[in-house]
Amino acid sequence: MISGSPIPHVVPAGRMARAEQPVLTLPGGWELRPWHPDDAEALYAAGQDQAIRLWNRLPVNSPEEARRRIERMRRRWQAELAAIWAVARPGGEAVGLTGWNDVDLQGGSAEIVYWLLPAARGGGVAVEATRRVSRWALDDLGLHRLRLCHSVANPASCRVADKAGYSLEGTMRSALLHADGWHDQHLHALVRGDI
């Protein structure tokens, strides 16, 4: 029989739910802010974008469905399950999404998600957003380990992971079903102390 105290939670329950989701700034005049109902058209547009649909499960088939998903983002923050931001210019429309799914406060981990509409692609915004939400997750929230997973057929996400400081840990075989079948995935990680 093992004696002693149980393993403590890495992040105490309630840390997210008791706080408002912050606005985070990025270089180049971008910000990460909570999604608003007014962003439904941008989320709907993302659901129709072929490049986003290729790599993300984003079944948004109407602006009303987008509004429901935005409300779900708020509820998931309150339930401490996810922290999802809109990528935008201050006061402007959402042109992307970044943040954390599968938040596990007890175990101290989460998995990043992100996409950008065409207007924001190609300027390093995905890398800066990944760096910024990673610092927030490690330093402000207090998580210990962050995951970034992507299809091995998506070299752009591999570059984002590398430039944001995530180490490639390996390949997960046949790990995610895409529209064209099962894909192997790269697993990258960032652990407290890496940056």
Neighbours of 57 (CB within 10 A): 10
Domains of the chain plus CATH, in order, are: 24-144 (3.40.630.30)
Long-range contacts made by residues 112-120, C-beta under 8 angstroms, separation at least 24?
112/146, 112/147, 112/148, 113/56, 113/84, 114/160, 115/46, 115/52, 115/55, 115/56, 115/58, 116/87, 117/42, 117/45, 117/46, 117/49, 117/52, 118/49, 118/51, 119/95, 120/30, 120/87, 120/95, 120/96
pLDDT 10s digits, 74-85: 999 999 999 999
What are the CA-CA distances from residue 90 to residues 68, 87, 95, 97, 144 (Å)?
24, 9, 12, 15, 30
- Intervals of the chain under pLDDT 50: none
Q: What is the signed CA dihedral for 135, 136, 141, 144, rounded to 10 degrees? A: -30
Within 13 Å, how many C-alpha atoms sit on residue 83's CB side?
A: 30
